[in-house]
């Protein structure tokens, strides 16, 4: 059974049979975490260069030899910083792995690296086929109509959507996003981290369950969700 770990904010990991895919590894400075987990991922997906997503990617990759996957510009930055195992991808591109595949899709946001705001390419989201279940990590984004097309070509089992507002879509637009994406399960993210974010996901959960077809799973940071084999809910 696949375990989907949530570390707060936009940081998740998918784990099954010694395969671990980590997404947006924001650990140091992540107020949702009291301790930093020791992880040995095979692959780290990066949605963009902002510190609350790029986070500890270089350090974890340096320690574990994990591959880093992201936009070419962000990967070039990682290379300059000494990372070696890099997978460059752009919108529409798909890479096949033993566990399935990773496809890069757009996100409407920015992507800069560090306080100097170095160019980080474009921000993105990911469609991840992990042992035959389809996950969509939206990254930081506003609502956009092409979500419907993304989900048409690859029906989504579990969507991870930002709901915190200010730097991403908030509850109202995220509900529209759920109706465009039609996932079986939606898990809210990117809320409750900083003062400007929405604190409480309750309204989103209530509205998702009454106004969309999706089941909403709210995850506590530091916990995991056992993804049901049969997602026909």
Residue numbers at the binding site for Ni ion (CB under 5 A): 50, 140
DSSP string, 167-199: SS--HHHHHHHHHHH--SEEEEES-SSSTTS--
Decide: is 24 part of the binding site for Mn ion (CB under 5 A): no
Count of residues near Mn ion by CB under 5 A? 2
Cβ of residue 22: shortest distance to Mn ion, in angstroms? 16
Quick one: 15 or 140, whose CB is closer to Ni ion?
140
Quick one: 164 or 201, whose CB is closer to Ni ion?
164
Quick one: 6 or 99, whose CB is closer to Mn ion?
6
Read off the tokens for 47: 């949605």
CB-side exposure of 200: number of CA atoms within 13 Å? 3
**Strand 118-119 to strand 86-88: parallel, antiparallel, or no bridges (unpaired)?**
unpaired
Quick one: 51 or 131, whose CB is closer to Ni ion?
51
Q: Contact at 8 Å (CB) between 204 and 171?
A: yes
Q: Taking each helix axis from N to C terminus, what angle separates 171-181 and 202-211, rounded to the nearest 10 degrees?
A: 40
Q: What string marks each residue from 116 to 145 as x (binds Mn ion by CB under 5 A) or -?
A: ------------------------x-----
Which residue among 24, 52, 56, 173 contacts Mn ion (CB under 5 A)? 52
Select the residue whose beta carbon is closest to Ni ion and give its number: 50
């Amino acid at each position: 059974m696949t375990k989907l770990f949530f570390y707060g904010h936009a940081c998740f990991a998918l784990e099954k049979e010694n395969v671990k895919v980590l997404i947006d590894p924001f650990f140091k400075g992540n107020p949702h975490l009291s301790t930093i987990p020791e992880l040995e991922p095979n692959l780290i997906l990066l949605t963009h260069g902002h510190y609350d997503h790029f986070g500890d990617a270089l350090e974890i990759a340096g320690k574990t030899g994990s591959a880093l996957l992201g936009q070419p510009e962000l990967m070039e930055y990682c290379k300059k910083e000494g990372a070696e195992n890099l997978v460059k991808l752009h919108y529409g591109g798909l890479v096949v792995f033993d566990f399935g595949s990773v496809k890069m899709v757009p996100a409407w946001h920015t992507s800069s690296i560090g306080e100097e705001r170095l160019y980080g390419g474009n921000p993105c989201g990911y469609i991840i086929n992990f042992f035959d279940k389809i996950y969509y990590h939206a990254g930081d984004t506003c609502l956009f109509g092409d979500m419907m097309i993304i989900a048409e070509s690859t029906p989504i089992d579990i969507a991870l959507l930002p709901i915190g507002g200010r730097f991403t879509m908030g509850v109202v637009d995220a509900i529209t996003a759920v109706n465009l994406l039609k996932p079986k399960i939606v898990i809210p993210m990117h809320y409750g981290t900083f003062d400007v974010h929405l604190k409480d996901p309750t309204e989103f959960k209530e509205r998702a369950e009454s106004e969309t077809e999706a089941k909403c799973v709210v995850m506590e940071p530091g916990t995991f969700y056992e993804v049901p084999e049969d997602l026909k809910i």
